[in-house]
Structure 1
């Protein structure tokens, strides 16, 4: 369940008559517990409570229904309960159906309210459903509750007005919802003449059967779009005509199509419920991104998962420009002239998000800049001064019309809230209406539009320039935008799409974006288009830009294909935030690993690298987001270090007849086939999960007589021959000449060290295995045959994992291993005999620790949350031994590991020996 679904379930529970016996189970069900889990708790098999009538779910919550008036005492009993401690409960909760109290035991945070009001605090309990919360949501659940109710209304209206769901009418429907949101906000913040006036008027003037609800709302909308003196002539009735109650709003929000969808009784009821929420609590930096899901059929299934936390957004905006503004404010002190210059500078700063969604980045940037401006005004003795930071300086492009509209609305709300906060409510109200007609959020395809026309460098109006295959974006005003000498900062969180996941239209976006360049655009992530457009923009005016991206953009083939041309184009990386989990208001498995990269054409000044909350000043950041000069790791046919050759496993395409499951293997052995002709077949899946397959194995040029005489073996080999002859591939047809063999027949004499070609990024180490001579490896794994055991210690190290992730890249979110990149380029210092002996012992310790947990699989053993302590210790010792060979101690973090590895790689590839190796590889 997502947050919105939980809110709905909790609200329904609070509206039911209180049932003391059922409440604990109903509460747990509302937070997503399955029927089977509830059933076991009812039966007592998993209920660990030691209190009468209590329900304790281990590692979760201890609930007790209190006698009337004894809620506080019951909560105390839950707190001191031995069962609460033993079962590691995170929450305790007591209620008598009148009062409601709860506590999060680790933090000590509490909730105390009337029972009917506990849904207002449902965000306090979201971690019960495995949902990662952030402080802003825990403190106020309003935005989720409002989104939930708006979603119900939206769905109900579309059910009653199916024509409004069509592509032709969807914009009208979305515009109607934006108008409603504004009215709900305006009636609770004194923008209208009385608290709750809009909702009260709809309830009073519309019939209970809802037959005229649409007419009442339409009349109010017309009033808000008509100046007071003109209302009588416009035929607006007296109950809607008073300008001191329903003032003239305009600004484009209430212009255009004034039609309102028809309301059923249920829809009218939803509308009144929404209006009765306290809209003074709206948080535009949360609400906008959530409400956009209401209007998107595909996204509605993930409703409530669209919140981007403010701390994450500030990881982009702070180093991009906000930190600099704050430093200037600190340096200015109380110097009136310096403060004035800073204020003038800020008034000309433009923030441009070319993938703005519902405006999160723009809203946060605006609010942070208003905070700085308010401090300037305070120090200058001008606290009531109007803001000189215009909303039109916060530009955006968004593909879909409703998020674009919500982005503009969110900025309008943010401006009003800032005015109330810094200048007082009366001044804010005096200047709020009418709204400006200017539309500074453009609806269109960002990769097909000319960004200079959306956010021009100096004093020119907005003149849209779009790809001629696209329609002109909707309702974009010509904004007179004098901004000589201003700064432009481009930021955002563009869509994540690997080259294999892009739609046909998205591939065309990328193609057009890179038209006329030599870049290998077919291999690029979709987000590369935004970096390239920003780079082009920066060639016309001084600007800095920073985007959030999946970390794949700083790994693997993207480095040579994309970053190398970008650097040649004159860019540098000013700052970067290395890989971290971008957590939204979603279940934990919905998070994504991202990086933040900030660029400009600046050649001076230090760069900043952020890693695990550590800020490091460096002279240069390369494309791998490591301190140091530009370096581009290229495939190598042979190891650059003194490592043995690693090869890909045996290609087994069109060889199904040679593969055996348990049943086929047993039948062949029962028929007398010698065990020497059957070997274990271990690809990546078998290595990791411990599943078993076998294969027929005939290394000789001719099939042994005893095997060929077996009818089942002969039949299998004939099937292989037939499938290869039927292939259109000439190489496969040639392979029909030896149908008893795979294309390669690599095998060891003693043992093989193998690595799957794809593995999970969540594991702390690569799943390296050591196997005996009776195991054959297909091409879903890489193999080192008959090498020193010290190689296993190197392959299973943290160093090797970090290098692999960085230079090999990923397949979706999984590590994609490559021998020519991950192994052959790995910089390893010359090893002494003692080094090798120490590493061999480490490898043996790792293998012995695994053996101690037999029959646990690699997947079991390397589960990051359940890795056995002795195995983890063996790996830690191995890492320490290996890393001491590099720098005489353990590395502090992965950044330091990579910094050293790239330093060694640069030296290795510059040496005459490396050059000679490359030449030999080319000759080969």
Structure 2
């Protein structure tokens, strides 16, 4: 157990007086350093070696005065000698040290002076006199077991530790030690390694036990570990008097961590060395906040290849817990100031807060939330200490916040175990900060309190069995991101068990189940809820289904982060675009909305009067899936859908071969445009027989052969032409009798506008364009029978793009434009006067001309933000101004207030206001009858 700082200061003062007059390096240096280590309660013989022989940079032998491997290198000189020279000499030794031996600190001394170098931070060295050692002892917290460090997600030691434990995991598993026993064994070893470097155990006691008491062949390592685990689970008063002395120095841990008997593990020499390699790292540098996710990757060799990519960063976690509870507590504490009575009341309330993460994984959110709560409590104690003017005695009695305030549910066992241990380790780190601040060592051993982490399916159990809702303060977390079409059968069953009564529940993503279950559980309470989610739940058709229910239950959005990139930038890891939504039945005013200029950018907070389900500062309206446009514009439909197995679709080479065989087929071949062909200028063709005479088809054997293949494909007798698609299903059987016709045929008789249904999130505008009636559009596109330049201009504008970004669904992160939700609900500028129409038409033509100036470039080239030509950018900007002006003019003409349209946020807020007016929808009001409320919304929208 580390000494208290007060004890260390007393020892330092005594040490400096004892050695005040010593001068000779040769005579007393070793005794001097033995005494120096004793100041911090560290037996030098346990950790440090005198006169270690190494090869210096020049190839000559050198002897390090004192080396504590991986921690501290000491170079000692006689009184009055040059410390700069001592430093240079010490640096020469580094070339002869292994990576594991390289120190983090370098200390040079001549008895009378100390100079300490922090090699990790690279900060300027600190020099002080021996007589001032007692004033400088906190600089040696790394020796005393106090680690007041700032953890870094990217610290290489996090990855190194996971990699080394991963190798041990693989070796044990390959030897047949697997399943639950392996998971528990790893969790216990993780705790021991961490405890070895952070003062929970006597310094390096675990490493020494393995290195000194077990044979190099590893045959007896399992026996020693079993004895150690039993010792850690036994109070000192109940241990045998004949217990091995090296085992007896370990503390009683309890907390059920070491309670369960495990099958005996048979190690070998390689496994033993792997454990020692892991122990060689400085585990005090490993952040409990992220190590859980790191070590979950240990269990998956594939995931381990991208270590560092799978954890949730503190930065992203703080985006959720900040507005959920942390910012409010900080603001309240700031308002309290130093008022003692209010501080004590506030402090007592901190100890009553309860947190639940119902998909906790390895506990990242709980660990960070716990740390931040402890930091607030530490500030409270600081203020009370300053108010009292005296040092707290028995400082542990004043710490009220504990791990038993935190609850989690996790479907997998290993992460659940890690979550519990991670909270204990964070607790220890925070206790060290308290000890450092108040000068008295404080550790919660044995572990009398535990977080409640339940290994269960959160969608199947009653959350009240984990914690009664009356006791809970907040629900938070990051539930699984699984799209509606990607769920397993079991996951879909779980979702429908929660959401099955909702009409349309089958299209909901998996994460929606947590929103529905959390709000149902928290009914009638003041619990705050916040989840990280995919942005799909606030876009497209899911909004009306999910949020129609949540709004009807009385829940409102209190804060939200709009779409941002969640994952790390690690190579080979797909970015996940997320949102954060915080819900309350009594949201604050104003509400907090965080927007991002780019998905990888920093959040910009704006105050919002209301945040609706599309994360817009507007009333709580829901866009229904309309079959007709809201405004007086042409109807939209999908392109042609052949269901032909690809046999009617031809590459240029296939078209040429067909025409060689059947020259008369030329009039039946049209240019084909799927979304990919349209955007990337890919040449493709289609055999179109809808207007062909039967006799003409029979006169072309090669074409007739294609018709036969399509018929057989629809019958399920042959595979698709590409070989990548499955055989046609039952839905295609009805089409087999008419193999010359498409399932969906949509060929306008005049020019038409083509809109790709899917396009990249990176584009600032949706690429669309006019097509000839001889061009066939595939069903990957939507088409509108119109050659109106004004209509095209509005579709191509930033105003419409803002609507797209907010309302359309996504495929991965790409936009998924829809007729029913996006196009048919879009509020067009009405009434549109001739001046506005003319301006839009002129700007739209300029945009077409700017495209035409680059005939060798595809739409994908032209609308890539990195390669978009300046002339096209300028044309779009002019078009945007014309469209914005048309909306302003329309509002003025209708006697309404002219909107401000300087940003996309203002544009989308205005569009929702217009939608609400056009549909005669009133803001959703709180109601006790959820289902009747949804019916009211539907009836109002239907009347519109």
Contact 1:217/1:260 (<8 A) preserved: no
Alignment partner for residue 542 of structure 1, among 526, 536, 555?
A: 526
Render the CA deviation track for 1:214-258: whole Å, top value 9, x for unaligned: 22222222222222243326x6333322xxx21111221111114
Contact 1:353/1:395 (<8 A) preserved: yes
Contact 1:579/1:593 (<8 A) preserved: yes
Alignment partner for residue 697 of structure 1, among 655, 665, 688?
A: 688
Matched residues in 2 for 1:120 and 1:258: separation? 39
Contact 2:558/2:587 (<8 A) preserved: no
How far the C-alpha of 1:724 sits from its partner, in A, is 5.8
Matched residues in 2 for 1:730 and 1:642: separation? 39
Contact 2:404/2:449 (<8 A) preserved: no
1:910 paired with 2:920, answer yes
Matched residues in 2 for 1:746 and 1:119: separation? 71
Alignment partner for residue 381 of structure 2, among 377, 402, 405?
A: 377
> Residues 268, 428 of structure 1: CA spacing in aligned structure 2 closer, same or farther, 3 A cutoff?
farther
Matched residues in 1 for 2:301 and 2:492: separation? 23
Alignment partner for residue 601 of structure 1, among 574, 585, 608?
A: 585
Matched residues in 1 for 2:440 and 2:367: separation? 18
1:410 paired with 2:425, answer no
> Residues 720, 435 of structure 1: CA spacing in aligned structure 2 closer, same or farther, 3 A cutoff?
closer
Alignment partner for residue 638 of structure 2, among 648, 659, 673?
A: 648
Equivalence for 1:850: 851
How far the C-alpha of 1:491 sits from its partner, in A, is 0.4
Name the SS for the 1:432 alignment partner: coil
> Residues 220, 711 of structure 1: CA spacing in aligned structure 2 closer, same or farther, 3 A cutoff?
closer
> Residues 922, 421 of structure 1: CA spacing in aligned structure 2 closer, same or farther, 3 A cutoff?
closer
Contact 1:419/1:428 (<8 A) preserved: no
> Residues 182, 786 of structure 1: CA spacing in aligned structure 2 closer, same or farther, 3 A cutoff?
closer
Equivalence for 2:825: 825
How far the C-alpha of 1:588 sits from its partner, in A, is 7.5
Alignment partner for residue 564 of structure 2, among 569, 577, 580?
A: 580
Render the CA deviation track for 1:705-760: whole Å, top value 9, x for unaligned: 66653333344345545666789999977766765443555434553220122223
Alignment partner for residue 355 of structure 2, among 347, 351, 355?
A: 351
Alignment partner for residue 173 of structure 1, among 164, 182, 186?
A: 182
Equivalence for 2:67: none
> Residues 711, 314 of structure 1: CA spacing in aligned structure 2 closer, same or farther, 3 A cutoff?
same
Equivalence for 2:483: 498
Contact 2:475/2:530 (<8 A) preserved: yes
> Residues 578, 725 of structure 1: CA spacing in aligned structure 2 closer, same or farther, 3 A cutoff?
closer
1:520 paired with 2:473, answer no
Equivalence for 2:370: 366
Equivalence for 2:757: 757
> Residues 726, 270 of structure 1: CA spacing in aligned structure 2 closer, same or farther, 3 A cutoff?
closer
Contact 2:665/2:700 (<8 A) preserved: no
> Residues 187, 854 of structure 1: CA spacing in aligned structure 2 closer, same or farther, 3 A cutoff?
same
How far the C-alpha of 1:698 sits from its partner, in A, is 4.9
Equivalence for 2:245: 238
Equivalent pairs counted in the alignment come to 762
Render the CA deviation track for 1:151-200: whole Å, top value 9, x for unaligned: 122112222x22x22xxxx222111111111211222122222x212111
Matched residues in 2 for 1:96 and 1:213: separation? 34
Alignment partner for residue 898 of structure 1, among 897, 908, 923?
A: 908
Matched residues in 1 for 2:282 and 2:555: separation? 48
Alignment partner for residue 673 of structure 2, among 646, 671, 682?
A: 682
Matched residues in 1 for 2:234 and 2:714: separation? 78
> Residues 879, 603 of structure 1: CA spacing in aligned structure 2 closer, same or farther, 3 A cutoff?
same
Equivalence for 2:130: none
Name the SS for the 2:663 alignment partner: coil
> Residues 119, 290 of structure 1: CA spacing in aligned structure 2 closer, same or farther, 3 A cutoff?
farther
Name the SS for the 2:326 alignment partner: helix
Contact 1:219/1:236 (<8 A) preserved: no
Alignment partner for residue 448 of structure 2, among 418, 432, 436?
A: 436
RMSD of equivalent CA atoms: 3.6
Matched residues in 2 for 1:789 and 1:329: separation? 59
Larger Rg computed on CA atoms: 2
Equivalence for 1:665: 655
Name the SS for the 1:763 alignment partner: coil
> Residues 261, 714 of structure 1: CA spacing in aligned structure 2 closer, same or farther, 3 A cutoff?
same
1:629 paired with 2:619, answer yes
Matched residues in 2 for 1:344 and 1:286: separation? 29
> Residues 674, 832 of structure 1: CA spacing in aligned structure 2 closer, same or farther, 3 A cutoff?
farther
Alignment partner for residue 250 of structure 1, among 246, 251, 254?
A: 254
Render the CA deviation track for 1:615-650: whole Å, top value 9, x for unaligned: 222332211111122211123333222322222212
Alignment partner for residue 268 of structure 2, among 246, 252, 264?
A: 264
TM-score (norm 2): 0.74
Matched residues in 2 for 1:446 and 1:320: separation? 21
Matched residues in 1 for 2:853 and 2:264: separation? 71
Render the CA deviation track for 1:674-699: whole Å, top value 9, x for unaligned: 64432101111211232222123356
> Residues 262, 741 of structure 1: CA spacing in aligned structure 2 closer, same or farther, 3 A cutoff?
same
Alignment partner for residue 400 of structure 2, among 388, 393, 396?
A: 388
TM-score (norm 1): 0.76
Equivalence for 1:335: 339
Contact 1:673/1:707 (<8 A) preserved: no
> Residues 772, 209 of structure 1: CA spacing in aligned structure 2 closer, same or farther, 3 A cutoff?
same
Render the CA deviation track for 1:781-817: whole Å, top value 9, x for unaligned: 1112342123322222233233234333123433222
Matched residues in 1 for 2:281 and 2:848: separation? 61
Matched residues in 1 for 2:433 and 2:606: separation? 36
Equivalence for 1:326: 330
